[in-house]
Amino acid sequence: MKKNPTVAIVGATGAVGVEFAGCMERRNFPAGKLVPLASARSVGKTMAFRGANVPVQELTESSFAGVDIAMFSAGASISRKFAPIAVKAGAVVVDNSSAFRMDREVPLVVPEINAADVRGHHGIIANPNCTTAIVLMALYPLHRKFGVKRIFASSYQAVSGTGAKAIEELRRQVDQSVHGEPLTHEVYPYPIAFNVLPHVDSFLPTGYTKEEMKMENEGRKIMHHPGFRASVTCVRVPVYRAHSIAVTAEFEQPVSVSTAREVLSHAPGLDLVDDPTKNQYPMPLFTADHYNCAVGRLRLDCALDNGLCFWVSGDQLLKGAALNAVQIAEELIK
Ligand code: A2P
């Protein structure tokens, strides 16, 4: 890989897409050139990068000539169609969609956990599901110490995880509510303002949603832990940015809160925010726009042996998406 790669961003106008450029800029990623790509609707828009306004181009089959790294965040169907085209043109794809995550040939990487897996790529590297990535930032260090068997978790997921249209929908509904107007909805099946939806992604015959099963499936692959089990309820909440997850984890070894605190206080990419006497715990308002995830509310689970409860919050557009992708790109040019 070149030291100053040409980087394409597919979905450059989307909620995650705009964050790719910001992360590269703030981390001084040595991109030689930026190629923002989106649909024909976005031609005429620009992407701010290092003081320049780079024109957005329409994504076509010939968009990838000369591109070294292509970061995709335009949905799974665009990834399925265009990622192989990008690879054929010589690019390495870092894909934020679910299209290739469970493909055996495709590494699924959280650099703080399994950076070495990047080396085994065949052209595509997958970025994990955002909720999974945020949970694993806290769970994996605990797993290394105590050996995780299974988790039970509920998520509190921000609307920006659904994309730019969902951010707009929440804004509009808040405005409608303030003005006493009926709440109109297009993105979600019910109003999201002043509501919570126990429904993220589509339902499976088991009653779980696809999103809920990503924690177990992707968690096993990232942690190299095929026996890991996860029972999750994913909930959409009227928060603009940053997901939070309440986790109960059961471990092989006995756990103590003091050792867990010690482990988590040294974990990369994670802040320990855990002082109930001062009302200190992680919250999405304060993890939004931050690279690090935050963990708190540590306590021994009162209903499980070797069980620990914790609450983790993180910016899903950053650690759950763009930041993680840029960290993968950094591994590629190391
Ligand atoms: P566009 O803004 O031109 O529609 P989000 O996840 O926030 O909804 O963003 C989705 C991203 O994927 C946007 O950048 C969007 O571009 C892009 N996108 C959606 N459909 C296509 C398409 N058919 N071709 C290229 N880009 C697309």
For 158-209, the pLDDT digits (tens) are 999 999 999 999 999 999 999 999 999 999 999 999 999 999 999 999 999 9
- Say if strands 92-95 and 69-72 run parallel, antiparallel, or are unpaired: parallel
Which domains does the chain carry?
Answer: 6-127+321-333 (3.40.50.720), 132-316 (3.30.360.10)
pLDDT at position 67 is: 98
Say yes or no: CB of residue 36 within 6 Å of ligand 1: no
pLDDT at position 87 is: 98
Calculated CA dihedral for residues 166, 171, 176, 178, nearest 10 degrees: 140
Say yes or no: CB of residue 14 within 6 Å of ligand 1: yes
- Of 121, 234, 243, 293, which one is the catalytic site residue? 243
If we measure between CA atoms, which residue out of 131, 136, 133, 189 comes closest to residue 157? 131
Say yes or no: CB of residue 111 within 6 Å of ligand 1: no
Q: Whose CA is nearest to atom 2 of ligand 1?
A: 13
How far apart CA 309 and CA 311 sit, in angstroms, is 7
pLDDT at position 269 is: 98
Residues in the chain: 334
Residues of the chain with pLDDT under 50: none
pLDDT at position 126 is: 98
Say yes or no: CB of residue 164 within 6 Å of ligand 1: yes
If we measure between CA atoms, which residue out of 314, 110, 62 comes closest to residue 223? 110
Contact 85, 64 (CB under 8 A): yes
**In sequence order, what are the residues at sequence separation of 6 or more whose Cβ sits closer than 8 angstroms to the Cβ of residue 34?**
6, 7, 8, 9, 21, 24, 47, 49, 54
Q: Whose CA is nearest to atom 9 of ligand 1?
A: 14
Longest dimension (CA), the chain: 59
pLDDT at position 187 is: 98
Residue 234 a catalytic site member: no
Provide the β-strand partners of residue 9.
36, 71
Tell me which of 39, 72, 85 to substitute to probe ligand 1's pocket, judged by most ligand atoms within 8 Å of the beta carbon: 39
The model's pTM: 0.96
pLDDT at position 1 is: 84
Say yes or no: CB of residue 41 within 6 Å of ligand 1: yes
Angle (CA) 41 46 50, round 5° = 155
Residue 243 a catalytic site member: yes
DSSP state at residue 147? -
